[in-house]
């Protein structure tokens, strides 16, 4: 179907262009700009896929955000939230 093909193309085009994420530099925490929630680095890829239909890999996310190979992981985020 034409419509299916159209949406597939759209999804492909979104890949690796603008991911709806940013990083809170103070906490080195990745934040989803659309959902406005903090995402531990080990959740980002699954979150983008499940909630926004965007396929990416963690390396691309980290490169895009310029955080190198460090961003807050789930365990660190839980720690951080508990200490707030
Ligand atoms: Zn989101």
Write the DSSP assignment of 8-43 as a string of letters.
HHHHHHHTTS--SEEEETTTTEEEETTTTEEE-HHH
CA separation for the pair 65, 10 (Å, rounded)? 23
Around ion ligand 1, which residues have CB less than 5 A away?
32, 34-35, 51
Residue 34 Cα to ligand 1 middle (Å)? 5
Q: Which pLDDT tens digits describe the chain residue by residue (84 residues)? A: 555 555 554 444 444 457 899 888 787 788 999 999 999 888 999 999 999 999 998 888 888 877 665 666 777 778 877 877
Tell me the CA–centroid distance for residue 55 and ligand 1, in Å: 13
Distance of CA 2 from the midpoint of ligand 1 (Å): 28
Predicted model pTM: 0.61
Long-range contacts of 74-78 (CB under 8 A, 24+ apart): 74/40, 74/42, 74/43, 75/40, 76/40, 77/29, 77/38, 77/40
Q: How far is the CA of 42 from the centre of ligand 1 (A)?
A: 14
């Amino acid at each position: 179907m034409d419509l299916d093909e159209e949406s597939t193309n759209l999804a492909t085009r979104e890949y690796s262009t603008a991911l709806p994420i940013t990083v809170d530099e103070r906490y080195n925490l990745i934040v989803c700009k659309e959902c406005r929630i903090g995402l531990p680095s080990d959740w980002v890829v699954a979150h983008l896929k499940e909630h926004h239909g965007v396929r990416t890999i963690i390396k691309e996310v980290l490169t895009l955000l310029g955080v190198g190979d460090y961003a807050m992981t789930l365990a660190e985020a839980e720690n951080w939230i508990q200490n707030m």
